[in-house]
Structure 1
Amino acid sequence: MNHLQQWLPRLVLAPSFFVILVFVYAFILYTGYLSFTDSRMLPSYGWVGFENYTKLFSLRHWNTALVNLAIFGVLYIVICSALGLLLAILLDQKIRGEGFIRPIYLYPMALSFIVTGTAWKWFLDPGIGIENTFHNLGWTSFHFDWIKDRNYAIYTVVIAAVWQSSGFVMAMFLAGLRGVDNEIIKAAQIDGASPVRIYRKIIIPMMRPVFLSAFVVLAHLAIKAYDLVIALTGGGPGRATEVPATFMYSYTFTRNQMGVGASSAIIMMIMVFSIIIPYLYSELKSGDNQ
Structure 2
Amino acid sequence: MKISSFFLVAVFISVEVCGQSINRFHDSKTIDSFLKYQSGRKRPLILAHRGGPASSDTENSIPTFTKTAKALPDAIIEMDVRMTRDSNFVLLHDATLDRESNVTGDVAQWSLPDLKKIRLKTLSGELTDQPIPTFGDILAWNQNRYVLALDVKPGTDPVRVMNEVRKHQSEYCVFVICYSLADAQRVRDKYPALWLAVGVNSMADLERLETNPLASGRLIALTPQKPQPVAFYERLHKLGIPCSIGTYGPTQLDEKPLSEATSGYRELFRQGGDIVTTDRPIEVSALF
TM-score interval, normalised by the smaller of the two chains? under 0.3
TM-score normalised by L of structure 1: 0.24
Pick the structure with more strand per residue.
2
Greater share of helix: 1
Q: So what's the TM-score if we normalise by structure 2?
A: 0.25
Q: Which has the higher contact order (CA 8 A, sep 6+)?
A: 1
